[in-house]
Amino acid sequence: MHLLLALIISVGFFWGNTAEAQVPSQDEKLLRVDLSQYTPGMIPGGIGEPVKAARTVADAWEQLHPNCKVKYQLMVNTGTTEGEWLKTQLIGKIAPEIVTMNTEVAWQAIDKDWFVPLDEILQRPNPYIPGNEHWLDSFSNKALTNSKRAPNGKLYCITLDTVETGLYYNMTLLKKLGIDRKPETWEEMIEAFKIIQNANTTPMTAQSNIASDWGQDIIFEMIYHEIMPLLDVNPSAADVKDYQEYFFDPPEGGFLFTKGFFSSRDPRWREMHRILKEWRNYWAKELKFTDPMRLFLTGRLAVLWDGSWTIRRVAKDPYINFEWDIGYIPAITKETSHYASGTPATLIGGAAMQVHITNSAVYNHSLEECVDFLMYLSAPQNIEKIAGEALLFMPNVNGAKMDPRLQPFAEIIKRKSCAIQWMEAMDPEYKKVWRRWLDYYLEDGFGLDEYLRILDENFAAWVKSHENDSAWDFTAMEKVWQSRQETLLRELNPAP
C-alpha cells in the first residue's frame, strides 16, 4: 500500500556504491537492485546506524554465483508517487533490473511490457527454502500477495514484508488531561480531542496528506460497510478474501459513479466528506509543512498517525521522556452517523516492499539470475536479517522472525483491508485535481456542495478518459447491476 510514501517521509542517507560492488567484467552479469529503505547506506528515519544487511546477503549470494555482481542503486525520487524517473529509464531500456515500488504504478504500464509477470516463476520451488515446492507458498500472507494482481490478472511483484499504520499516543500527556485510556469509538476520540484542544495542544496530525488521503479511505468503508456486498459488482477473487473481503478496482469505481454512487447524488459520499472535514478540525492547523514527528517527540502533539516505520524513530530516540502506546482508528458508530455500521476500521497499509523485475533483466539476459537473487533474498533467514536491522516492516515470509517492538502492528494487520484507496485508484492527472480541491475544501475554501460538484466533474472526466479502454468494459458489471438496481437506487434516493 504506501511504500513510496514511507520513503518520502523518512529522512534517509545514502552512501555511494564504491565500496559495495565492483563494476563487473564483460564475462560477469550486473544486477542493479533498488531495495528502497533496505538499500545499504540508508539511515531509515534519520536515526541509528546505516543499514548494511542487504549488502551482506548480496555478498553471500555472489559467492554462490561468481559470474554475478549485485549493485544497489536507489531509484531517483521526484517527489511524487507516479514514478516519472523510472518510466524514463524503462523507455530507454536502462532501468535497474530489480525495483521496489507500489505495484499500482506498474499497473498503469502493463500494456508496455516494462515489468516481468511472475505467476509462472512463483510456481517454481525456492531452492533456498528446504522443502518448498512453490515459491508463492513461502509468503505468509498469500491473500495479500494475491491482492496485488494487476487488472489483467497477472502478478508483477513479490511482497517481502508488510506495513501498517497506527495511532501513536502520548499517554503521559493524555493522562495529565484526565484521559486514562485510548478511545474505543469515534465519538470518544472526538470528545478526547476537544479536551486536548481546549488545553491549547494539537490533538492529532500526520505527515503531509496522510490524514486526508488515508482518512477518507477508512471513513469510506465504515460508512458504506452495510451495502458493500451489493455495491461489489465485480467481486474479489476467492484467494484474496481473507485479506480484502470487498475491493473496488478503478473500473468498478468508475462504473458505480456512472450509476450515481460516489457522487453528489450519493448521501453516503456526502456523509463521508462531512465526517472527514469535522475530523480535520482537530489536526494541526498547517498540514503541508508542519513537522508532526518533531511535535510528537517533543511532547506537543497528543496523537500521531503514522506507519510502522516510525517505530524505529521512537524506539531509538534517546530523548523521549514520556510514555507512549499504539492503537488504531476507532470505529464510527450510529452516534456519529446513521450510516455507520459500528464495525472495526479497516486497514490502509498492507504490502510494504513490493519488488518487481523490469524489462532490463530481459534485455540484459539476466532474468534467471534476478529470479534466483530474489529467491535468496526472500529466504526467511535473509529477509529476517534485513527487516530486523531496519525496524520498519514485518517480514511476509513463513519462518522469518519479527522484531517484538512491531507486535502492535502485527495485531492491527489482522483486520480486513480497506475497500479502495481512492487517490491510488485515480490516474495521475485526475488525482492531482482531486488532491488540490480536497485541500481547498478542508481549509474552508468552499463548502461541501461546491466541493462535491467539482468532484463530479473530475470523476466524469476520469471515466470518459477510459471509454476506449478494454479493461473498463462495463458489460459484466451492468448485468450484476440490473439484478440489484431496485435496491441500490433506494440507497441513492432514501425515503424521507
Q: Where are the domains of the chain?
A: 3-163+350-412, 165-346+426-496
Q: What is the pTM of this model?
A: 0.85
- Cβ distance 107 to 140 under 8 Å? no
State residue 20's pLDDT score: 39
pLDDT in tens, 299-356: 999 999 999 999 999 988 888 999 999 999 999 999 999 999 899 999 888 889 999 9
pLDDT-based confidence at residue 86 (cuts at 50, 70, 90): confident
pLDDT-based confidence at residue 361 (cuts at 50, 70, 90): very high
Domain 3-163+350-412 belongs in CATH node 3.40.190.10: yes
State residue 345's pLDDT score: 94
CA–CA dist 363, 257 (Å, integer) = 42
pLDDT-based confidence at residue 414 (cuts at 50, 70, 90): confident
pLDDT-based confidence at residue 22 (cuts at 50, 70, 90): very low
- DSSP strand pairing (165-170 vs 161-163): unpaired
13: pLDDT strictly greater than 50: no
CA–CA dist 373, 376 (Å, integer) = 5
The reply to whether 3-163+350-412 and 165-346+426-496 are identical in fold is: yes
Extract the C-alpha cell encoding 485.
Answer: 438496481
CA–CA dist 488, 482 (Å, integer) = 10
State residue 79's pLDDT score: 60
CA–CA dist 352, 372 (Å, integer) = 21
- Cβ distance 129 to 108 under 8 Å? no
Strand partners, 67: none
- Averaged pLDDT score across all residues of the chain: 89
CA–CA dist 152, 2 (Å, integer) = 22
pLDDT-based confidence at residue 428 (cuts at 50, 70, 90): confident
Domain spanning 165-346+426-496: CATH superfamily: Periplasmic binding protein-like II (3.40.190.10)
- Cβ distance 311 to 408 under 8 Å? no
Extract the C-alpha cell encoding 170.
Answer: 502520548
Alpha-carbon torsion (230, 231, 233, 236), positive or negative: negative
- Cβ distance 164 to 328 under 8 Å? no
> What is the DSSP-derived secondary structure letter of residue 130?
T
